Structure formats: structure tokens, C-alpha cells
Amino acid sequence: MAYDPNNVFARILRGEIPCHKVCEDDATLAFMDVMPQTDGHTLVIPKVAAEDLFTLPPEALAATIRMTQRVAQAVKVAFAPPGIMIAQLNGAAAGQSVFHLHFHVLPRYHGRELRLHAGVMADPAVLADHAARIRAAL
């Protein structure tokens, strides 16, 4: 499959679609998932156009995982979960639904199941609050 420059994350990077930004640098962008599986569910994407782990240049992957680590640390401070799950899916069979490489940062709690992936849109005010909490922890 060829990279689709009109995928939702490419459009977010170009500013065509708004997002609840957590942070960014020259190589990456972190923002709230609009259909979160748990409160604090944050996405980290490279600014390089890459469909998956196999098409992202190693330097861009290194920058993306550094930002993922930074965001995960902030999510841990902001939401105080006992665990953090990092998920990265490659291909439709693995559950990837947006074909621009991305990492999910998901706070996890004992006895609390994740909501369905790409299930229900969250209240924008809640997402804005969650993004502000994570930014404050950076």
C-alpha cells in the first residue's frame, strides 16, 4: 500500500484538521486521540510521511520513540496510572486504522478495561483538559 497524503494524521500535520496538541518538535507531534480508549490516550506521530514501522527512516523512528517516552512520562504524572501501555500497530490485520505511523500512549488501571478502539468521539472540552494536564507535566 502506498502512503496516502490525505490520511487524517497528514491532514493534522498540515493544519487542515484541528487537534488537541500536547507537544511537538521539529520531528514529531503528540496530540489527544479523539476516540480515546482511556482517559489520557495520547498519540505520537512522526512528521515524516510513513505508513508504518517498516517505512519510517531509522532517524525519524528514533525521534518518535524519544517523544513517545517523554509523553508517556508526562501522562504517568498527569493521570497517576499504575501502568502505561505503548501500542504501535502495523497493517490492517494488526488493527491499524490510520496508515501514518503512530504510537498510542495509554494509561492503564487494574480492573478497568479499555474502551473500543475508534469507538466513540470524546467531548472536546474533556480532551482539551487532558491535553492541558499532560502539557503541565512535561
Task: Catalogue the active-site residues.
Answer: 102
CA distances from 58 to 50, 55, 85 (A): 11, 9, 22
CA distance 91 to 17: 23
Give the DSSP letter of residue 116: P
The pair phi, psi for residue 66, each rounded to 5°, is: -60, -45
- Give Cα separations from 13 to 2, 24, 78, 79 (angstroms): 18, 10, 25, 26
The residue written with cell numbers 475508534 in the block is 118
Half-sphere exposure of 95 (CA within 13 A, CB side): 9
